[in-house]
Amino acid sequence: MPVARPESQEPRVIAHVDMDCFYVQVEQRRNPDLRGVPTAVVQYNSWKGGGLIAVGYEARKFGVKRSMRGDEAKRACPDIQLVQVPVARGKADLNLYRSAGSEVVAILSTKGKCERASIDEVYLDLTDAAKSMLLESPPEMLDSIPEEALKSHVLGLSSDENKGEEDVRKWLCQPNADYQAKLLACGTIIVAELRVRVLQETKFTCSAGIAHNKMLAKLASPMHKPAQQTVVPATSVPDLLASLPVKKMKQLGGKLGSSLQDDLGVNTVGDLLKFSEQKLQDLYGINTGTWLWKIARGISGDEVEDRLLPKSHGCGKTFPGPMALKTTSSVKQWLNQLCEELSERIQSDLDQNKRVAQTLTLHARAFKEDEVDPLKKFPSKSCPLRYGTSKIQEDAMHLFELGLGDFLNSKNLGWGITSLAVGASKIVDIPNGTTSILKYLTEKRTSCNSSDCSDALPGEPDHATSLICQKDADTKSYKGHEVPLESKVEENPKTKAPRESASDSKRLSDRDANAKGTILRYFSGGSSSNQSSTSKVETTQIEEQERISSSTASISNSHQNLNLNQNNNALSENWIINIEEIDPSVVDELPLEIQREIRGWIHPSKRINTAKRGSTIAHYFSPARK
Ligand code: TTP
Ligand code: CA
Ligand code: CA
């Protein structure tokens, strides 16, 4: 259930930055012939041309949407170029996109606290940068306001096309504005400059929302896409929320939002203003009641976390229709592939960032030839993570067998697996200065006693302690693990922004950037000379369409801690997954049906309605309300 965090007394400036049609832009940078050409990226499973996972803006003009398959997209836009996601080990390999996202994060994180919220988006806390700018070079003192800042959409300003930039200039430089508004004006300029830098250094465009808190910034960033930014002055918040459907608000997409609509007749977030805090608390409990009362007023205390690296790693694969896995040997074969990738990723996280993952989790979707309980879910299972591919493979298979045993309830029934995923979570930093992981573990081990162990497991564990306790609890322990024992510790990973592919990203020449003027012009330009070139993707592989189960999560999302272990067994005893530890940024990488289940736990509303994802929130705000 949502909880209102105490909001800061000091005004803050927060930005939410989201890349435009991200995978398409990455492919267009790789192959410049695709620039300006209608393009989409398709899934690896290519039944009917493959499901579209990213659609470029040129293709959107033809009505191409993410919900389509390649064949349908070709009918809507015959010239569309379909690029298949890179493939490794028989499944999509997203490393290219992850690295491209890291390049952007490396630039954005130079101006303030930066939280990587997904593969293509971040939150920035620009409060300090805005304060410095206000002291040193406030907008009214600047020789010239950057053109990109003048292109901002400021909610509440008149939408007269001809006077747009002039109005924004006046808003940015208003001498009588209060301190909060002045900081927001500085934030607007800082974000515009960052977006220009991102374009120059990576060739990617992005869109942004700038506001006084995360909630409002996130609502604003998709309002003017692609390659534009939207600002929410405090005075515009009531109008913005008055017309925002409750279901569009984070955490109101599920049962809570339905109850507001059905039981209270609340259709927009602004409609909540009719109810007192007391009334909302009586109806929904103290925490949720207060949270609802606050969001109706645009108040949110959520902080931008200082996090450039993911909180967990995951990889998975779907086996739709006739491809379902029906033998343990076929499951083992695929689990081995998934574990190999997971192992590589946690190993590289260890090598590059000096971070250790502590929990291994197995998720699966399954069916069985049992009419009695057809809706029963395959239980997710977790255990301590042991480094080394073969150990991860062995443990994942063991978890699968445990899950299958529970799923079948000891009955000898036929079964099939339609998706499999493995995850590594509870990732902790190895302290600075540690030169040997083995030494670190040994030192910690001596300070651990049995009472630490039992205390650490159920709640929010002391990570360092629980790492050892878990190893002790696991009879196989870390002895002989394949973590490189002498890891070099160079610097704090938090300050070490990954920039893997920066070298590939030749700088956009000044001539290009200047000629285009603003980012938007750069984006909408581009050659169309290559429209007739052939599709880059083979679409012959026929597969049954993935069926996404809409059934509810097997584990109630009302519990903060999801005890994924219902049985007493050696490996998964007492293992608890905290939903806070599932990184939303990696959920995209899991099979769709598992994504849906996990999203149900994290944010009941997130991406439930993918059919409308191509549209912006902007159309909910009529011009009169601006
Ligand atoms: P989004 O930010 O949702 O979309 P987008 O960047 O393609 O387009 P927009 O300009 O509207 O923001 O997702 C980022 C990337 O994540 C997207 O390019 C592809 C990937 N993705 C999936 O693989 N599956 C999904 O269901 C979604 C929503 C995204
Ligand atoms: Ca995006
Ligand atoms: Ca996004």
Residue 600 · residue 552 · CB < 8 Å: yes
Residue nearest to atom 3 of ligand 1 (CA): 613
The pLDDT mean for the chain works out to 75
- Host domain of residue 284: 1-20+101-308
Q: Please check whether residues 83 and 4 belong to one and the same domain.
A: no
The verdict on the CB of residue 21 being under 6 Å from ligand 1 is yes
CATH number for the domain harbouring residue 57? 3.40.1170.60
User: What's the CA-to-centroid distance between 120 and ligand 1, angstroms?
Assistant: 8
What pLDDT digit, counting tens, does each position of 213-237 carry? 999 999 999 999 999 999 999 999 9
Q: Please check whether residues 139 and 249 belong to one and the same domain.
A: yes
pLDDT at position 18 over 90: yes
Residue 186 belongs to some domain of the structure: yes
Residue 626 belongs to some domain of the structure: no
Q: Which range has the worst mean pLDDT, 143-152, 165-174, 292-301, 457-466?
A: 457-466
CA angle 139, 140, 141 (to 5 degrees): 90
- In the structure, what pLDDT confidence band is assigned to residue 23 with cuts at 50, 70 and 90? very high
CATH number for the domain harbouring residue 266? 3.30.70.270
User: What's the CA-to-centroid distance between 302 and ligand 2, angstroms?
Assistant: 22
Last residue of a domain, one of 273, 308, 343: 308
**Percent of the chain residues topping a pLDDT of 90:** 55
Residue 625 belongs to some domain of the structure: no
Mean predicted confidence (pLDDT) in 540-557: 23
What pLDDT digit, counting tens, does each position of 480-524 carry? 222 222 222 223 333 333 323 333 333 333 333 333 445 555 444
Q: How many distinct structural domains can be found in the chain?
A: 4
User: What's the CA-to-centroid distance between 413 and ligand 2, angstroms?
Assistant: 44
User: What atom of ligand 1 comes closest to residue 613's alpha carbon?
Assistant: 11
Mutate to test the pocket of ligand 1, among 23, 26, 44, 610 (most ligand atoms within 8 A of CB): 23
Task: Determine whether 121 is an active site residue.
Answer: yes
The verdict on the CB of residue 453 being under 6 Å from ligand 1 is no
Last residue of a domain, one of 429, 447, 463: 429
User: What's the CA-to-centroid distance between 207 and ligand 2, angstroms?
Assistant: 8
The verdict on the CB of residue 27 being under 6 Å from ligand 1 is no
Last residue of a domain, one of 308, 328, 359: 308
Q: Which of 121, 148, 543, 581 is catalytic?
A: 121
The verdict on the CB of residue 19 being under 6 Å from ligand 1 is yes
The pLDDT score that the predictor gives to residue 2 is: 77
Q: Please check whether residues 491 and 563 belong to one and the same domain.
A: yes
Q: Please check whether residues 401 and 334 belong to one and the same domain.
A: yes
Q: Please check whether residues 342 and 478 belong to one and the same domain.
A: no
Residue nearest to atom 29 of ligand 1 (CA): 53
Q: Please check whether residues 144 and 244 belong to one and the same domain.
A: yes
Residue 486 belongs to some domain of the structure: yes
Q: Please check whether residues 116 and 28 belong to one and the same domain.
A: no
Residue 45 belongs to some domain of the structure: yes
Q: Please check whether residues 420 and 560 belong to one and the same domain.
A: no
Q: Please check whether residues 36 and 12 belong to one and the same domain.
A: no
Mean predicted confidence (pLDDT) in 273-299: 95
pTM to 2 decimals?
A: 0.68
* 86-93, Cβ contacts within 8 angstroms, sequence gap of 24 or more: 87/44, 88/341, 89/337, 89/338, 89/340, 89/341, 90/317, 90/334, 90/337, 91/44, 91/315, 91/317, 91/337, 91/338, 91/341, 92/43, 92/44, 92/589
Q: Please check whether residues 170 and 290 belong to one and the same domain.
A: yes
The verdict on the CB of residue 22 being under 6 Å from ligand 1 is yes
Mutate to test the pocket of ligand 1, among 60, 65, 120 (most ligand atoms within 8 A of CB): 120
Residue 595 belongs to some domain of the structure: yes
* Bigger pLDDT: 466 vs 393: 393
450 CB burial (10 A radius; 0-12, 13-18, 19+): exposed
Q: Please check whether residues 151 and 297 belong to one and the same domain.
A: yes
Q: Please check whether residues 250 and 121 belong to one and the same domain.
A: yes
Mutate to test the pocket of ligand 1, among 16, 18, 587 (most ligand atoms within 8 A of CB): 18
